[in-house]
Chains A and B, each alone.
Chain A
Amino acid sequence: MAARRVGVSSWYRVLSLSRRCGRCSSTNTALGKTVENSEGAQEEIVLPRRKTWDKLAVLQTLASTVKRDPTAAHYMFHDDPYLMPKNSATARLFSLSKESGRNAAKYIIKEFPHFFDKILAEPNIPSLMPEICTPQIEGVSEEALRERINLRMVKASVDLFDQLLQAGTSISLETTNSLLDLLCFYGDGESTQEKESEEKEDLEESEVNASEQETPKRPPQRGSHPFASRWRENNNAERIFKIMPERNAHSYCTMIRGMVKHGASAKAYDMYTELLNDRHKADVHTFNALITAVPFLKDRFLERWELIKMFLNHMAQQEVQPNVQTFNAVLKTLRRCGGVGRSMAVPVIKEMEALEIEPSLATYDHLLSIFYRSADLASSGIISEVLDDVEKRSFTPQDPDDAKFFISAMQVCCDLKDIKLAYRLNKAVEKGDNWKFLDMDRLNSYWSRFFSLLCMMEQIDVVLKWYKEMSPSLFYPSPKNILDFLQALDAANHLEMIPSVWEDMKQLGFSKRRDLLEEVLSLMSRDQHPEEIQLAFAKCAEDIKTVHEQSGRDQASVEWTGSALGSVTVLFSRAGRTQDAWSMMERFQQINRIPTDLVMDEFLNCAKQTNSPDEAIKLVKLAASLGLPSSQKLKSRVEKEFKLSENQNARQKELRAAQGKSRH
């Protein structure tokens, strides 16, 4: 009965959702009209000729019924159980490899279309067909040039342009401008497609060279790519720009943008003065680019601000309306203006308000970084005002920097140790489509910051609830998160949970992190616990022992440290596993460490409890052979607390004699 009711209610939800989606698509205006009409008067009901569905409505409705499973990894990993990520590093690796596999397939189809001859489908699906990226127009003409520009073939376009010029053909301003666009965007380097083919040649070469020496060379080559795209002196763009018979504002603007993009800020500024001398007006994008270049033009903070102000004034004079990116660029530059930035940020925001330009998330991101750069500025005023604004709105992406906001806001919450702000921020993330601003890497660092803050400030039950809710499905805890979590457990006196945390650590692949191992061991061995917990701890300790002793062929095993060895011994002793404890004791000697008095006391207690005087004597021997000052004390304790047999007594005496000898 109950089940049926649940079923019914979920169906209602589906229906209502689908209705909403139908309204979203709103292509059925006719239907709406009929409803109104029938309500108004008894007129003829006009049936819609056809009801058009949004092609996504059904799917969206269905998708909205699927909730996140907190115990499962992200959907993209479901294909292959072998490739389930264990921690954030593997998650990143696997998602990237999935994407690169897809790209490789596309590349093959594009590169070798002749291998795919069974591609006819009925009806034909054009999106599955390989793209045409070879020019169809032959010969030397402006048409051909335009086609090459559209296909983004940088080198071919320039060559064709030169040929046209040599032939004496005049090329229209529009075409030349779009050629300039292309050249400036790619910084006169190659567009991606050509880069790929270059890399392919590279690869072939290295194969030919049977490359043991080539392989180490390759990474730096790849790393040098961004440098290759820097603006070069007298590159093709500059050359073409110089020989252009007439130039309009667009030609100047695209040159300026290209120069800024490829790091030639000073040149861009010169180009801007040329533009002014030629009595042209720049467009808003050009001003945005120039404002982002300001930090490279001036060194002093005040001069930077003066320059920004000059650009803004020029915009006003040239009747260019600023957009949200303009103000984002201003704030981004103010980030690099120290105290001037802090004092001028608010007027900039006010100006935005006055112009009724809605700030994007990047605006807020810049604000936070301006005001919270130095962590000692511990006022939560700005961030809570920012959150007030963010909570009120839903956001669409407007600026490439938008994605950084939630992370930096969470960082500020962490710096301020303000859990309430963090909760508010998290609410804002969950609102609407805001979650989309956090891609996989960002999501991970966002949650790991949040989790650290939770560990620091929250009650342990709340921390545990969050941990269960988000651990594998939203993020993979970092080693630091685990450390924080352990500390939170310690603070709340919930040490009995450590074995389960250890399980998680193994799962996450942190079982070889020395810092974590030490923390786990020291927490477990610090206090005496009820027997049940001690047994669980001992099991844990055994696990840790095997981690230390695994002689993995592929990975180096973890070296024992004195404290780790001591803790493991203590844990074995407390659980009454005398033999295991003794084997650990022996290991002290092997690695030239000395057990602490506490460890030996615990071991002796254990030996006493399990009534194994032999072990006790062995311990005394060990202490004596290590020349520990406490050996005397241990010996007297053994004599007092154990009933030693004749034989054992004799050995004790022997020991004493040996000691006496060594002393003399």
Chain B
Amino acid sequence: MWRFTAFEALLGPEDYNPDVTLPVHSSGAGRNAVARNARRSSRSRPAALKGRRGCERRAEGAMWGRLCGSGRILLLAGAARHCGRPHRTQKLFSTSSVLSATEDEPTAPTDSTTKVASKEGAAETPKQKLLKMIGDMKVEVTTKRKFQQLKEQEIKKQATNKQEGLHGGSSTFQNSAEDVQRSKPLNPELVQAASAVASSFPHNKEQAESELLAQLRRHEETTDKQRRGGTINICNVISEMTVKRQSPAQRGVRISNRISLEMDEDGQRIKPGRPSSHSDSGRSLKAGKRLNIFTKASPETENALKTVSSPTIWDLEFAKEIAAVTEQPPRNGFEEMIQWTKEGILWEFPIDNEAGMDDGAEFHEHIFLEKHLKDFPKQGPIRHFMELVICGLSKNPYLSVKQKIEHIEWFRNYFEEKKEFLQEI
């Protein structure tokens, strides 16, 4: 699998040529965008015919991507065929020196790769083609890997449906593309290109060449398989391709580069090694050391710290600010009533006889006043009179219970005083 790391190194981490990218990249967002672009390009065939040749081929490639299930590689191959402009390649190689140290395959040591890169003249088109083709592949894989893994199943399903749908309309199209695909590994031009690349390696030329060719053949196999039945999961292919990702060291370099860039923003450069030591691959909230500055306070000291003092304006305003964070307008009438109740401008629910009575007495003490008539005669006009009195009192909301009892007391004393006269009568 070293080929991918090798060519990724040549390409540099961020630098791929926008010209060679497929329409897939252009709107680049998610699974649906791919489907959409593919369909669009397949449908806009008349327009594409009129346009540039490259454009047409791109459309072809994209369409193949859809027809062949998840045949991402085909799509790339299609795109790769029209990329041979020298000036772009030069740009492509310009970043290679930084990351060339990432080689970990002994057969292709670092300096040789760089040499390939630097030696590339403007005229060596076959080699460039090959490099670019594989370079594209890597780009594709890295940018699309994520949602591929997520969504490959649906894509496959859709793609097969699509295949049926499009079969009739675009058979000639398909044939032409198919021809190209079939002939690809047998294409002497490519073999030539591969050997050209291999020849520029100082050692192990044969091995390099055969490995290159083997890889190309493998592409052919996978595409064939997928075209026939779509039985091979693209996920497997892609995961294989990306098994060899960057080594931790390489990533460290990358991250520290990024960090040092940020340092530049800050106006100062710091040795990249130091901050990046923490930011290594397995970043997680679970693992790591604590700062070890504070010690946990014991409950007693905590309580001791909570000194009671009147809230300052800072505290009041902070509380207000916090409350405002979750303040929501009422979502329905009841919530509005809740709000009003809290503001104190609505009768409190449940509405009962006790609203507004706050002398601490219960309603029955206000209403059932017979128990205060024990000292009065059990019958007769006085009893009758007193019953009328308590009836009136029980309906009076303006007197407190105490006042009512005092009122009854007054009558008791009064009749007590007048007892003699009454008995006389």
Contact = CB atoms under 8 A, between A and B. Distances in A.
Interface residues of A, number: 98
A338 B294 contact: no
A403 B325 contact: yes
A356 to B, nearest CB: 7
Contact of B349 (A59, A340, A378, A526): A59
Interface stretch (B76-84, B270-278, B377-385, B386-394): B270-278
A178 interface: yes
Contact of A76 (B31, B266, B283, B329): B329
Given A66-B332, A397-B322, A123 B32 contact: no
Contact of A59 (B263, B301, B337): B337
B216 interface: no
B293 A382 contact: no
Contacts of A356: 296
Interface size on B, as a range, is 35 or more
Interface string A340-371: 10111011111101111000000000010001
Nearest to A302: B270
A641 to B, nearest CB: 19
A298 to B, nearest CB: 10
A75 to B, nearest CB: 5
A190 interface: no
Nearest to B151: A457
A456 B33 contact: yes
Given A301-B266, A400-B321, A491-B32, A457 B147 contact: yes
A299 B267 contact: yes
Contacts of A53: 349-350
Given A125-B345, A339-B259, A397-B323, A456 B268 contact: no
B182 interface: no
A188 interface: no
A244 interface: no
Interface string A316-352: 1001011000000000000000111011101111110
A229 B289 CA distance: 42
Contact of B275 (A343, A351, A371): A343
Interface stretch (B191-199, B204-212, B311-319, B367-375): B311-319
Given A49-B362, A56-B338, A181 B331 contact: no
A455 interface: yes
Contact of A349 (B285, B296, B338): B285
Interface stretch (A307-315, A543-551, A577-585): A307-315
A332 to B, nearest CB: 15
B43 A526 contact: yes
Contact of A58 (B277, B293, B295, B350): B350
Interface stretch (A7-15, A209-217, A432-440): A432-440
Interface in A431-466: 433, 435-437, 439-440, 455-457, 459
Nearest to A443: B328
Interface string B36-77: 100110011011000000000000000000000000000000
A433 B275 CA distance: 39
Contact of A351 (B46, B294, B330): B294
Interface of A is mostly: helix
A339 B276 contact: yes
A74 B313 contact: no
Contacts of A321: 294, 297, 301-302, 305
Given A343-B275, A487-B33, A371 B283 contact: yes
Nearest to B352: A53
B279 interface: yes
Contact of B312 (A49, A178, A348, A382): A178
A66 B334 contact: yes
A413 interface: no
Nearest to B328: A436
B122 interface: no
A187 B341 CA distance: 36
Given A68-B331, A402-B325, A351 B293 contact: yes
Given A338-B263, A339-B263, A379-B283, A75 B288 contact: no
Given A74-B331, A436-B326, A355 B296 contact: yes
A125 B336 CA distance: 18
Contacts of B293: 309, 312-313, 315-316, 351
B203 interface: no
B245 interface: no
B416 interface: no
B290 interface: yes
Contact of A339 (B30, B279, B288, B324): B279
Nearest to A55: B348
B399 to A, nearest CB: 15
Interface string A64-104: 00101000001110000000000000000001000000000
A280 to B, nearest CB: 15
A6 interface: no
Nearest to B277: A343
B139 to A, nearest CB: 14
Contacts of B331: 63, 66, 68, 74-75
Contact of A598 (B46, B278, B301): B46
A368 B33 CA distance: 27
A433 B322 CA distance: 15
B417 interface: no
Nearest to B354: A50
Contacts of A74: 329, 331
B394 to A, nearest CB: 18
Contacts of B267: 299-300
Given A339-B279, A382-B284, A385-B285, A315 B294 contact: yes
B356 A123 contact: yes
B91 interface: no
A325 to B, nearest CB: 9
A245 interface: no
Contacts of B333: 66, 75
Contacts of B22: none
B334 A59 contact: yes
Interface in A404-439: 416-419, 433, 435-437, 439
A399 interface: yes
A185 B315 CA distance: 11
A645 to B, nearest CB: 33
B291 A351 contact: yes
A60 B338 contact: yes
A538 to B, nearest CB: 20
Contacts of A660: none
A51 to B, nearest CB: 10
A490 interface: yes
Given A338-B266, A457-B30, A58 B284 contact: no
Contacts of B262: 301, 338-339
A60 B348 CA distance: 12
A22 B339 CA distance: 19
Contacts of A419: 150
A299 B263 CA distance: 11
A367 B283 CA distance: 12
Interface of B: 29-33, 35-36, 39-40, 43-44, 46-47, 146-147, 150-151, 154, 258-259, 262-263, 265-268, 270, 275-279, 283-297, 301-302, 305, 312-314, 317, 321-338, 341-345, 348-350, 356, 362
Given A350-B289, A598-B47, 17 more contacts: A53-B350, A59-B349, A66-B334, A75-B329, A75-B336, A338-B263, A338-B266, A348-B291, A349-B288, A351-B292, A354-B294, A371-B283, A389-B285, A397-B323, A400-B322, A437-B325, A492-B32
24 contacts: A55-B341, A75-B331, A76-B329, A95-B329, A301-B266, A319-B301, A321-B305, A339-B275, A346-B284, A351-B292, A371-B283, A381-B284, A385-B286, A400-B324, A416-B146, A417-B30, A435-B328, A455-B32, A487-B32, A488-B32, A490-B40, A491-B31, A493-B39, A598-B46
User: Which 3 A-B residue pairs are closest in the complex by CB-CB distance?
Assistant: A343-B278, A339-B259, A456-B30
